[in-house]
Chains A and B, each alone.
Chain A
Amino acid sequence: MTYQSEHITVNGARIHLRRAGSGAPLLFLHGAAGVTAWLPYFEELAKTRTLLVPDHPGFGESDTPAWLFGIGDIAYFYLDFIDHLGLSELDIIGHSLGGWIAAEIAARNAGALRSLTLLAPAGARVKGVLSGDVFMWSPEERANNLVHAPALAAQMLAAAAANPDQMKAQLKNSYGAARLGWQPRFFNPELQRWLHRINIPVQLIWGENDKVLPVEFAKAWTDALPKARLTKLPQCGHLPHVERTAETLAATQAFLREVAA
């Protein structure tokens, strides 16, 4: 199985959307590095659900619209996107930057949402704990800091070196990520003040060895969210769905079954 690729226009922006499977809708919001591969995690989720994987405005094959100044614009865009596709009872999975976007959407209007699964989300911080600086690291440092297992980092670097076309895609994604998360670095103090508004079930999944957004940040979420649970994964960096696919999938699916019941 694989996905269908299409382009839709929402609020004047042409958006690249991947669609796979059938069943109740499940929206995956990607992290700062974009969607560079159709992952086994996606493949498994699409076996029971209609999985939607868009490129955010400013990323991948999507437009960078003139109205895109910051994270709030992306959140309102996705509310338009949800209306446009007529989605309801929607479960959202968001990784890193995508987790931040999911929370920004839900804090504004969770009416069409059923749950959030946040994989190492950006967006909230704990003072005194520093995030890693993805904008300062060299490509080698970035790969090694993204995952816990050095072998996986080496594999990622080799894959990038073998595909020079990816440099251009990665460049666009880094521009997109900077637009949303340069200052302050990948968090929004305003969101953090209003996290309690997200009154739907939230599961946080976090690698215990995350060097980008340390697992200590989970406290900012669990303290503020009324219906949150935290699943920590040992021997795991910032990409739980890639580095610990089976465990992340099991936790995701168990939670999604529970909120559907």
Chain B
Amino acid sequence: MKFYAFHLMPYRVLDLAGAAKYRSPWVALPNEFYDPAKGADLYREYIEQMVFAAKLGFDGICVNEHHQTAYGMMPAPNLLASILIERTRDLDVKVAILGRALPLVSNPLTIAEEFAMLDNISKGRVITGFVRGIGSEYHTMGVNPIFSHDRFHEAHDLIVRAWSEKGPFAFEGEHFNFRYVNVWPRPYQKPHPPIWIPSQGSRETIDWAADPKRKYPFIITFAPLATVLKNHQLYKEAGGKHGYEVSGDQLGWALPIYVAETDEIAKRESGRHVEALFNSFLRMTPEMLFPPGYTSMESFLTIMAARKGTAFKAQTVDELLALGTFICGSPATVRAKLEEAHAQSGYKKLICMLQFGTLPDELVRKSTEMFAAEVMPKLRTL
């Protein structure tokens, strides 16, 4: 198994009570809640946390993209990736951008260019991720969610072709058209950097990622364990339908994890911070999360039916632990839970969110260190 330390870089010093008076920390929360003096310190703290994880032997460190929200301070993740690449240049560590939201840009060639630059600067240590962005970002970025899937697929095709075909060539799409595609620099890795697909899970995405032309690692994010396992199973079935056996390297799981001396200490130290992640930073209305077209109508009706009664309701740490959306505990407990899930699905990529919600620096470092020393080594052979 391989281990990746993932960061959202939330504005963790947010006035949660004040923010609760607004519709959501996405779109609506006034940016006067952001204090640049505190934010500047947070960037420093978070960069150091990621370098710390790299030095502790994680296989990769991961950043991601979110816009106009207290949930994550990385509207331009490649800026952070470029700092991290330089700070880890003597280490054998990947820098993963999980991911860029392809439909949200009007010119996906800039994404092809920036990733190619990072791939060269890092001499091939870059992993790229392609996502569609969160529903709220179709409100804030002024992009029509009806065309989200179409734009994603077109932008993907454009970027992969720009990386792997001889230029200049013309790209002719419905949403994107370019007379000259001739990206300099070419990517360092051959034929191009790995592409991972972080997703909340939809059958369309799984079938597309599992296609033998792609075989993109599928990373199911922030979901109950049952959903994670179900999606891994669907991916394996999709591979089977295509006539090949899916490898564990194609299956990933991204979740918040906290390790401490005992189960009791772990829950006490992390509980309110993980609750802040799910109940404060991720608080969104259905209108934000699922704008028209972001999902198919069928998926939307299924999702709303599944959430009926528990729709968009706060979850306690105990509920999150029971669902397996969050794992915390002693090293032995955390290890056992990860092993148990591995026994069921065979996943080999674990994307650990070691800072989450309001979790302060000293606890992040303690948990990261314990995870690296006492959880990772025994799971490496899986």
Contact = CB atoms under 8 A, between A and B. Distances in A.
A137 B285 CA distance: 9
B288 interface: yes
A138 B301 CA distance: 16
B292 interface: yes
A144 B364 CA distance: 46
Given A135-B292, A136-B288, A174-B292, A182 B146 contact: yes
Given A178-B292, A183-B144, 9 more contacts: A135-B139, A135-B291, A136-B23, A136-B27, A171-B292, A171-B301, A175-B293, A175-B297, A182-B138
Interface residues of A, number: 17
A172 interface: yes
B144 A179 contact: yes
Contacts of B144: 178-179, 182-183
A167 B287 CA distance: 14
A137 B301 contact: no
B300 A136 contact: no
21 contacts: A135-B287, A135-B292, A136-B287, A136-B288, A137-B287, A171-B292, A171-B300, A172-B297, A175-B292, A177-B292, A178-B292, A178-B293, A179-B146, A179-B292, A182-B138, A182-B144, A182-B291, A182-B292, A183-B142, A183-B144, A184-B142
B143 interface: yes
Interface string A160-186: 000000011001101101110011100
Contacts of A138: 285-287
Most buried by A among B144, B288, B300: B144
B141 to A, nearest CB: 9
Contacts of B138: 182
B271 interface: no
A179 B150 CA distance: 13
A226 B139 CA distance: 36
B145 interface: yes
A171 B218 CA distance: 29
A178 B146 contact: yes
A69 B300 CA distance: 21
B297 A178 contact: no
Contacts of B297: 168, 171-172, 175
A175 B301 CA distance: 13
A176 to B, nearest CB: 8
Contacts of B146: 175, 178-179, 182
B147 to A, nearest CB: 8
A178 B287 contact: no
Most buried by B among A135, A167, A184: A135
Interface string B284-307: 011110011100010011000000
Given A177-B292, A178-B292, A183 B300 contact: no
Contacts of A171: 292, 297, 300-301
B352 to A, nearest CB: 34
A101 B301 CA distance: 29
A63 to B, nearest CB: 14
Nearest to A167: B301
A135 B135 CA distance: 11
A67 to B, nearest CB: 11
A168 B288 CA distance: 19
Interface in B135-189: 138-139, 142-146, 174
Nearest to A58: B146
Contacts of B23: 136
Most buried by A among B23, B146, B174, B293: B146
Nearest to A142: B287
Nearest to A175: B292
A135 B288 CA distance: 8
Contacts of A135: 139, 287, 291-292
A54 B291 CA distance: 25
A212 B301 CA distance: 26
A178 B145 CA distance: 8
Interface string A110-148: 000000000000000000000000011110000000000
A179 B291 contact: no
4 closest Cβ pairs, A-B complex: A178-B292, A182-B144, A175-B292, A179-B146
A138 B311 CA distance: 14
